[in-house]
Amino acid sequence: MKLNKPKYRILILLVLLGLPIAVRLYGQAVPGKDENIPFLVTFGKLGRTSWGDNDFNQVFFFAIPKDFKQQFFIRVFDPDCGGEHDEIQGDFNTKTMFSVYGGKGVDPEVNEESRGLEKGLNFKSGNLLASKVFGNEARYDNKFYSFGPFNPAEGDFNARWNSYFFKIVCEGVAGDDGNLYRYFLSRDANNNLAVEGANAFTYSYTFRMWNDFKSVAHIYPYVDTGIVYIKQRNFDWDKDGKILVVSRYKQGIDVQTSNEDDWAETRIPIESAEEGSSLDFQFHKRQGELVKNNNVVVTLENQRGDALKFYSSPIGGVPVYQPKTNIIKISPKK
Question: Beta strand pairing status for 144-150 and 39-43?
Answer: unpaired
Q: What is the DSSP letter of 307?
A: B
Q: Tell me which of 34, 55, 154, 176 binds Ca ion, using CB under 5 A.
A: 176
Smallest gap from Cβ 96 to Ca ion, in A, equals: 8
Say whether residue 181 binds Ca ion (CB under 5 A). Answer: yes
Residue 238, Cα to own-chain centre: how many angstroms? 20
40/270 with CB nearer Ca ion:
40
Query: Are the beta carbons of 178 and 286 closer than 8 angstroms?
Result: no
Q: Which one of 5-13, 60-68, 80-88, 193-201 is the stretch in contact with Ca ion (CB under 5 A)?
A: 80-88
* Candidate list 35, 86, 171, 274; residue touching Ca ion; CB under 5 A: 86
Tell whether residue 177 is a contact of Ca ion (CB under 5 A). yes
Which is it for strands 95-102 and 263-269: parallel, antiparallel or unpaired?
Answer: unpaired
Contact by Cβ (8 Å): 319, 244: no
Which residue, 256 or 303, has its beta carbon nearer to Ca ion? 256
171 binds Ca ion (CB under 5 A): no
Q: What is the x/- site pattern for Ca ion, positions 207-246, by CB under 5 A?
A: -----------------------------x-x--------
Tell me if 90 contacts Ca ion by CB under 5 A. yes
Contacts of 296 (CB under 8 A, 6+ apart): 52, 206, 207, 209, 234, 235, 236, 237, 238, 240, 258, 283
Q: Does 93 bind Ca ion (CB under 5 A)?
A: yes
Q: Which amino acid is at 77?
A: F
Minimum distance of Ca ion from residue 180's CB (angstroms): 5
258 binds Ca ion per the rule CB under 5 A: no
Q: How near is the Cβ of 207 to Ca ion at its closest, in Å?
A: 10
Give yes or no for residue 154 binding Ca ion (CB under 5 A).
Answer: no
CB of 93 to Ca ion, least distance (A): 4
> CA-to-CA distance for 287 and 158, rounded, in angstroms?
44
Asked if 312 is part of the footprint of Ca ion (rule: CB under 5 A), the reply reads: no
What is the nearest approach in angstroms of Ca ion to the Cβ of residue 85?
5
Burial string for 113-138 (b: 16+ CB within 10 Å, else e) reads ebbbbeeeeebbbbeebbeeebbbbe
Q: Is 179 in the site for Ca ion (CB under 5 A)?
A: yes
The residues, ordered by sequence, that sit 6+ positions from 80 with a Cβ below 8 Å of its Cβ are 86, 96, 134, 135, 136, 137, 138, 140, 141, 179
Residues near Ca ion (CB under 5 A) are 52, 78, 86, 89-90, 93, 176-177, 179-181, 236, 238, 294-295
